[in-house]
Structure 1
Amino acid sequence: MERRSLLSATAGALVLSGLAQAPAEAAPASDLVTTFNVVSDIQGDLGDFAQALQDIRATNPNSSGLAVAGDITPRGYDFEYADVQKVLDRNPKPREVAWAIGNHEFYVPKWADPNTLAQSTWPNGTTEDSLFRSFHRFAKRSTVYAETTFGGIPVLTLGTERYMKYHDASLWDEVWISDAQFQWLEDRLQYWARRRKPVMVVTHHPLPNTVSGTRSKIYQSDYLQPDRLLGLLGRHRDVFLFSGHTHWDLTLSDWYVRRVVPGTANLDGFSVVNTGAVQTGFADNGQGGESTVPGHFNQGLQVDVYRDRVVIRARDFATGSWMKQVSVPLATRI
């Protein structure tokens, strides 16, 4: 079939409003390669996390995986990770789970004990290494970056390798990526491009000038090396970057964008998708800040990978309803 060509631009971010709001075309079930789900920002809201898992089972029983785009816990205590695991154990879930690390996984040093906030005495005897060890034990791996597959589709998780407050007193949650992680990402993107597979990249922090909220000063400086990361992702037409952190409402028009990176040969850009949040939702307050979305907020995504397109659907777990969807043509048929 003839594929619809995506618009291109030389500016940093391109929002395809018409494409993002249009219903996905019906596709034969035989063309479906796999389906999976994405959530983020649980942050201790375990009731809503359980609700999301139940809804995913009901609406997508054949889901091949669940990607969690960071802020798994409210602070990063081992007992908080254990509480998340209990919810997973007590509810239906996809067999594969891919975890990305978030800034809330590094908040133990702000507390003298779990009940006493003590930022003035940061880090309260907590070592940086212990925070990474807690994440590694929970995620059952030895690095913050990792690769898995959901139904044969590669899923790469990225994350900071330093909590920057330990290295620079003027910083807090900024993302620092090592040369090793950058090289690994470049190698994996090239590997899967040669095999004509779309690549799903999951990271907690959003890149500047992409999805909802990222034109605000609040999120402009999340990455210490944003251009290097954009330069790698921007070369690949069939990369899909899922980011959390902002909690911004998936009803917003720029929940999905194509990010074109100047200087790359890929003038169609790559896909960037906001993941919403399990916990509290936010939106623009009109004054350069954020306002809380009223009511019960609990949102996430379902991703259906077909041989010639990827359909991303925004889900309201609280109301059990679909919000919108986008159908993104692939450059090559799987």
Structure 2
Amino acid sequence: MSQSDNKPVIAFQVITDTHVTADPEHLYNRHFEQALKDIAENATDSVGIMHAGDVTDHGFPAEYEELHRIGGFYQDRLPPLYMATGNHDVGLGIWESRLGNFLAATGMSAAYHDHWIEGYAFLFLGTERGLELFCDLSAAQLEWLDAKLAEAASSGKPAFVFLHQPLKNTTAGSMEEQKWYGVTQDDELKAILAKHPRTFLFTGHGHWEMEAPRNHVGGEDQLPAMFNAASVAYLWTDADERREGSQGYYVEVYEDWVLVKGRDFTTGTWVKSAQYEVSLKPVPARES
């Protein structure tokens, strides 16, 4: 550890798939409140809660009202909430209208957006077509991402990317036979990420539990580190079964490494099998 006091340079949380409904008593809403309470009590130095999409269950105005009501409980103790769109938010109905509702309710600036916090890049990708399950990224968005990752790389700091749908055959739940991957430009996005190995990609969509194999892949000399962020609303297993539960990540960034810690919000405990240290040190060149 490079810090003599072992304190991170920056810390944040990652959640996804809250699926907030219009019913205040719905389990999903209670799980969302539970997650925010956990963060409010345990992350006083956090710079933000990063949400990887499916904020709501249908993208309805009443669901956004519930989002604000629940967030208000701990507003004075929570960091800002930054959000990506999910297919449940903008994939139903008329896309332009659903995106407009999302942006108005969340305060995000566009379908994709960036936030630079204490010199670190936090990049949120989002579909530009209203597809039922998949995410469709324009050439302009891909060029934007490439440029932002290059800008982050020039600073010497890692970049953090948030996208609702995982890339095919990468993290838990994204295997082709499972059908829960979902980026139309899968090859193009992988090619951009491969150029910027000091990148961390967090995705949701499949609700896969953090205990599943391949919960985290990549890092070092492979594709950038990719993490399945599970779900706050409910979980799914490799046995193709629903599991009641609520999970997310606490992330601590140090000068030379990043600690990603899986959290069970229902029990207020760490997911022991989902604790990852990813080195930021350059990988020695291999001999030919």
State TM-score, norm by structure 1. 0.77
Tell me which amino acid in the other structure corresponds to 2:95: E
Give, in whole Å, the separation in 2 of the partners of 1:319 and 1:197.
33
Could you say what the CA RMSD is over the residues aligned between the two structures, in angstroms? Answer: 1.9
Task: Please tell me whether residue 94 in structure 1 is matched to residue 70 in structure 2.
Answer: no
Tell me the number of residue pairs that the alignment of Structure 1 and Structure 2 aligns. 272
Structure 1 221/283 Cα, relative in aligned 2: closer, same or farther at 3 Å?
closer
Task: Please tell me whether residue 158 in structure 1 is matched to residue 120 in structure 2.
Answer: no
1:1-334 matches, within 5 Å, as 28-29=4-5, 32-44=8-20, 45-92=28-75, 94-106=78-90, 108-109=92-93, 127-164=94-131, 172-219=132-179, 222-258=182-218, 267-285=221-239, 290-293=240-243, 296-324=244-272, 325-331=275-281
Give, in whole Å, the separation in 2 of the partners of 1:156 and 1:41.
18
- 1:117-151 deviations in Å (ceiling 9; x for gaps): xxxxxxxxxx3211110111123234111111344
Q: Do the aligned partners of 2:83 and 2:108 also contact (CA within 8 Å) in 1? A: no
Tell me which amino acid in the other structure corresponds to 1:188: K
Give, in whole Å, the separation in 2 of the partners of 1:201 and 1:107.
21
Structure 1 226/108 Cα, relative in aligned 2: closer, same or farther at 3 Å?
closer
Give secondary structure in 1 for the equivalent of 2:142: helix
Give, in whole Å, the separation in 2 of the partners of 1:229 and 1:252.
24
Q: Do the aligned partners of 1:77 and 1:108 also contact (CA within 8 Å) in 2? A: no
Indicate the structure (1 or 2) with the bigger Cα radius of gyration. Answer: 1
- 1:39-73 deviations in Å (ceiling 9; x for gaps): 00011211111111111122222111100110000
Q: Do the aligned partners of 2:172 and 2:208 also contact (CA within 8 Å) in 1? A: yes
Percent identity of paired positions between Structure 1 and Structure 2: 31
Give, in whole Å, the separation in 2 of the partners of 1:27 and 1:211.
31
- 1:267-292 deviations in Å (ceiling 9; x for gaps): 4321000111111110112xxxx111
State TM-score, norm by structure 2. 0.89
Q: Which runs of 5+ in 1 are unaligned?
A: 1-24, 110-126, 165-171, 260-265
Tell me which amino acid in the other structure corresponds to 2:57: P
